[in-house]
Amino acid sequence: MKHISNPDLPIILKNWPGNPVSSSGRFFHPQYRFELTWADIIKWKSRPNPYARAKRKETWRATIIKDDTFLKNKKDGHIWLGHASFFFRINGRNILVDP
């Protein structure tokens, strides 16, 4: 199994070989390999979505505040960028989370 790592980043665990990479160059978790077949995709798309009705009825929308003050100062804070993405500033460090 091939592993790669960034030599510019500090490694905490001694003798860490790096992150496992598949033969196609994709990162993966060796204990929880997940590979879809075309049959899996067709089965998934052909089944009804149990949340479809609730999603159609949902009318709540986030309020959009167009204020870039946070971007122009150095104060701690956070911004929801959309979906599951957030930008945090904590003790002068900028952290972008986009799972």
Structure-token pair, residue 62 = 């986030």
Residue range 5-34: mean pLDDT, rounded: 87
Residue 52 belongs to domain spanning: 2-97
Give residue-wise pLDDT tens across range 41-76. Answer: 999 999 999 999 998 998 988 888 888 888 888 899
Sheet containing 93-97: order of strands: 77-82, 85-90, 93-97
Residues 62 and 80: beta-carbon distance below 8 Å: yes
* Per-residue confidence (pLDDT) for residue 11, from 0 to 100: 86
Strands 77-82 and 93-97: unpaired
Total domains present in the chain: 1
Q: pLDDT band for 1, please (50, 70, 90 cuts).
A: confident
Percent share of the chain, pLDDT over 70: 100
* Per-residue confidence (pLDDT) for residue 76, from 0 to 100: 94
Residues 88 and 78: beta-carbon distance below 8 Å: yes
Arithmetic mean of pLDDT over the chain: 89
